[in-house]
Structure 1
Amino acid sequence: MLAMTTPWVLFPTPSNQLVLNRLVSSLHFFLNLFSKHILLPMNKPAHNWAFMLATLMLFLLGMNMLGLVPYTFTPTTQLSMNLGLAVPLWLMTVIVGLRNQLSSALAHFLPEGTPTSLTPILIIIETISLFIRPLALGVRLTANLTAGHLLIQLISMAALTMTSISTTLSLLTFITLMLLTMLEIAVAMIQAYVFVLLLGLYLQENT
């Protein structure tokens, strides 16, 4: 719980007064840019989800970046945590589709023009692909963050071990570690964006 709530301390406290500073202005710019980009391909009914998607993006981004701070734990490296986010959000998109456009939602299970002999197989395949979506959301986020963190750990241990063997090799390994850390920062940001983007695509299909 401490790791999950810590990123929110970094965000400014809402105020009734107009407070303009670099942090608030940067946050507003990011939210406006993200909302325009993520909602551009969506239907108008899906725009009601803008606040939830932006909040989810900031939440995932904060937790992913928190894991790059030394001696901290990243909750999003746990599959149970990611599935706890992915399954309810995916289920909400499915429920919205079944409530608002039942015939269109059911039509996804059987594409138009399918031969009668292939109908049962296609329905089974589309059903499986539908239920795999939340699993793919959770596993993708977990695997990418865990792999990056493990690689950083291994290279940092190698750099420390090589200190007594060769200063040059240790320095080269440390430079590699710094470059990998920069790459992992980009991965943490991209994976948060991909999670929200895929959720937005699922929402687009059901609105």
Structure 2
Amino acid sequence: MTLSFFDQFMSPTFMGVPLIIVALSLPWILYPTPSTRWLSNRMTTLQGWFINRFTQQMFLPLNQSGHKWAILMTSLMMFLITLNMLGLLPYTFTPTTQLSLNMGFAVPLWLATVLIGMRNQPTMALGHLLPEGTPTPLIPFLIIIETFSLLIRPIALGVRLTANLTAGHLLIQLIATAAFVLLPMMPTVAILTAITLFLLTLLEVAVAMIQAYVFVLLLTLYLQENI
């Protein structure tokens, strides 16, 4: 039976139970729980320092009302980073390669930012649909274009995360397959291919972290426009 390269993106099941549930619950088990003691271990200290630095950097441009989203956005980024990194391990499944899951993250959070803007400052929120100084004949066309660009934002969020991770996984599998095929015939070329695979894996680790950061960064930018 010939397997397709895209079979790695199918959601696995065990005795009829989808294992994506296990993959989604695993990140919360891996992180150490902060304690109330004055002194903690190095892992907890490093985790707290990273979260504090990220939160300060991400929410620095936002005003005080936007800081209520800090816990949600920071938790989402840590969750996405962990899912992306665990998906790089052998014999694992990456839930963020599923467009449905990424859209489930993107659509509610984007819709929440839009609803907050409509509730708190409807005039300014609707003003984004029509740039200042627009000629009168172009007003209907620009409103349609800006409305379409507003509605396509959650799709762009989900597709960006899915496409980047899917492309990286496919490329890793293609190069790994080429290295195994070339090993008995051309060992030198196979070794060079394996070195390329190692460098590509390092790049994919960076992509896994950057894409999670970009996902949350764009959400905070959308929030900044509506508060």
Report if the CA contact (8 A) 2:96-2:161 is conserved: yes
Task: Name the amino acid aligned to 2:135.
Answer: P
In structure 2, the residue matched to 1:119 is 139
2:159 match: 139
- Residue 40 of structure 1 and its aligned partner are, at CA, apart by 1.2
Q: Which has the higher contact order (CA 8 A, sep 6+)?
A: 1
Query: TM-score, structure 2 length as denominator?
Result: 0.89
Unaligned runs of 5+ in 1: none
Q: Which deviates more from structure 2 when the two are superposed, residues 84-93 or residues 4-13?
A: 4-13
Identity of aligned residues (%): 62
Shift of 1:120: 0.7
- Alignment of 1:166 with 2:186, yes or no, is yes
Structure 2 distance, partners of 1:19, 1:144, is: 40
Spell out structure 1 runs of 4+ moving beyond 2 A: 13-19
Deviation at 1:163, TM superposition (A): 1.1
Q: Which residue of 1 aligns with 2:122?
A: 102
Superposed, which structure 2 residues align to 1:30-69 within 5 Å?
30-69=50-89
- Does the Cα contact within 8 Å between 2:77 and 2:212 map onto a contact in 1? yes
3-state SS in 1 of match to 2:82: helix
Flag the 1:135–1:200 CA change in 2: closer, same or farther, 3 A: same
1:130-172 CA-to-partner distances (Å, cap 9, x unmatched) read 0000000000000000000000000001111111112111111
> What CA RMSD, in Å, does the superposition of the two structures yield over aligned residues?
1.0
Name stretches of at least 5 consecutive residues in structure 2 with no aligned partner. Answer: 1-20
Q: Deviations over 1:8-56 (max 9, x none)?
A: 2110124343451111011101101101110112222111111111000
Q: Which deviations, in whole Å up to 9, do the C-alpha atoms of 1:50-91 show, x marking residues without a partner? A: 111100010100101011010100000011110010000000
**Mapping of residues 143-158 of structure 1, within 5 Å:** 143-158=163-178
1:10 equivalent among 24, 30, 33: 30
**Residue in 1 aligned with 2:198?**
178
Report which of the two has the higher share of helix. 1
- Paired AA for residue 84 in structure 2: N
Q: TM-score, normalised by structure 1?
A: 0.97
**Amino acid across the alignment from 1:151:** L
Matched position secondary structure for 1:154:
helix
Aligned pairs, number: 207
Mapped to 2, the partners of 1:204 and 1:8 lie a distance apart of 28
> Is 2:46 the counterpart of 1:26?
yes
Work out the CA distance in 2 between the residues paired with 1:19 and 1:151: 44
